[in-house]
Amino acid sequence: MAYPLQQVPASEQRREGSTWQGGRHTPYPEASVEHASADLVLNAWLGRLTGYVSPAALAAAWQDWASHLLLSPDNQIELGLQAVASLQRWLQYGASAVHGSPAEPLQPLAQDKRFADPAWHGWPYNLVSQGFLLIQQWWHRATSGVRGVSPHHTDVVTFVARQLLDSVAPSNFIAANPVVLQATLVSGGRNLFNGMLRAAADLRNGLTGTGPAVACRPGRDVAVTPGKVVMANRLMELLRYDAATPSVHETPLLIVPAWIMKYYILDLSPQNSLVRYLVEHGHTVYILSWKNPQADDRDLSLEDYRRLGVMAAIGKVVEQTGARQLNACGYCLGGTLLAIAAAAMARDGDERLASMTLLAGQVDFTEPGELSLFIDNSEVSFLEATMWQQGYLDTRQMAGTFQLLRSNDLIWSRRLRHYLLDLPDRVNDLASWNADATRMPYRMHSDYLRKLFLRNSLASARYLVDGRPVSLTDVHIPIFAVGTLTDHVAPWRSVYKILPLTDTEVTFLLTSGGHNAGVVSPPGTPGRSYQIATHSVDMPYVDPESWRRDAVQREGSWWPAWESWLARRAGPLVPATPAVGIADAPGSYVLAP
């Protein structure tokens, strides 16, 4: 069955700097099709050579930094003095280390584990690591302290300098890494031989476009909670999971996951499944399983995701359960989309939502975290060229971006473990899910980047639904927002911005962990903690730092706290009435390559 696409009003096309040429969206409002195509083809080809990073964006950042540094003699003198001081400190450290009593060393950042092994504390490796850390410190000062450089360009130059330094860190080289040398002596060089075979296999997979095999298969090892597919369209399958209790809460729960990930991050192995946890506590759970788009899905828009995804699912849930309202939960991009849908529903008098939960979901993109390094007009235009040519954002492009954000953990440390130390992969359900990546349609991702990231249209009440703007201040249902402490995708302070943008009761919870592991936090997981506090409508605004200082720290998983909040808004317990579906969960969309 063919599903019609949402048409974009001409005024909105002009506002967003886009046009439709020959039935396809192009990011060039003035150029002809021929000129636009030539530009796009050139930029798409260039993207393959640069790792999809815009040379123009990098050049602009470097020029901004270099020209302001050139016009700042005081800064140049200060950097020169700091370089001399760093050299003196390094020489003094080396002299003292030779006599067996090294001076106080410069400590790496807490998350930097490259030199944590005791072997780095001996001569001459302690001198090597200290030299690298001092150089790293100097370059951070050189790139981040130049007066007059725009904050975005400062971040970009600092990031690029860090990437270049990380690539030449002594831990990456056999002769400079005592841990690798020791492993080579013990194994007789077998670690290097096996690493060479692994590197060749990775190179072959990269050239052929094939990724590593997924260890945990949906429906076999993960996504095994019993459920049914109750609806399907060209964009999503709607899965229903009946409560595993004799009586169930009257009000069902709809979960909207991000389309950048497969839904089963919330239904991993049974001990890590949020879906299983909820059904065991008497909730009927619906969740969207997004289609992994192909080239012919290029024209699916963000509005299609709202209409064919969220709104279609809400209609089906209400129809099937007979409930007057439902609770809704959105994760990451799914939370942003749910917030758009909730604002549009509130504007139009649609009262089918009883509450809204946002799991690491942003509605204000003024401080979107490290992803903003890759998002400005130049970079988005460059990325659009690649998406225009192939019809979607490829999984390898997204994976490369996230790997750069955590290059020590995901690139250099991995190469050290695999190629030099011959250590096995860390296999678990979350790592396997992370390797099961998805694509994003060209038009939708362009909409998302330009309207939300660049223009911040939702937070500024300029985002259009059905040709009219929506405002989060119209949302008056209770909100539960979860931020994760070390999130580099949706920083918790950015997630916290839901408080001043809405005129309703907001319960904010901050949990330990990152964007994924912080959300997948079942009871019994060691080392987990969270803070929680409710902000009522009549309370004065509390800034995030004050909130974190004053909110009580609690040990354990945050899941019970949310389930308790949810249960109070899920209506009375009624007899269970299992539904009949059209197929068994996890459905077919999650299995499609």
Q: Indicate which residues carry an active-site annotation.
A: 332
Nearest alpha-carbon partner for 182 in 125, 137, 251, 230: 125
What is the spatial distance between Cα 574 and Cα 592, in angstroms, rounded to a whole number? 37
Q: How far is CA 504 from the centre of its chain?
A: 27
Q: Are 258 and 244 in contact (CB under 8 A)?
A: no
* DSSP for residue 456: -
Nearest alpha-carbon partner for 144 in 82, 51, 203: 82
| Cα separations in angstroms, 545 against 54, 116, 492, 496 | 35, 31, 11, 10
Share of the chain residues as helix, strand and coil, in percent rounded to the nearest 5: 50, 15, 40
Sign of CA dihedral 566, 571, 575, 577: negative
Q: How many CB atoms lie within 10 A of CB 24?
A: 14
Q: Are 481 and 357 in contact (CB under 8 A)?
A: yes
Q: How many CB atoms lie within 10 A of CB 567?
A: 17
Q: How far is CA 281 from the centre of its chain?
A: 29
Q: Are 341 and 311 in contact (CB under 8 A)?
A: yes
* Tokens (6 digits) for 390: 């192939």
**What single-letter amino acid sits at 529?**
S
The helix (H) or strand (E) run that includes residue 288 is strand 285-290
* Tokens (6 digits) for 113: 């584990």
* Residue in the block written with tokens 């020959």: 22
What is the spatial distance between Cα 393 and Cα 443, in angstroms, rounded to a whole number? 10
What is the spatial distance between Cα 145 and Cα 140, in angstroms, rounded to a whole number? 8
Give helix then strand counts, H and E, for the chain. Answer: 22, 19
* DSSP for residue 516: T
* DSSP for residue 209: T
**What single-letter amino acid sits at 114?**
R
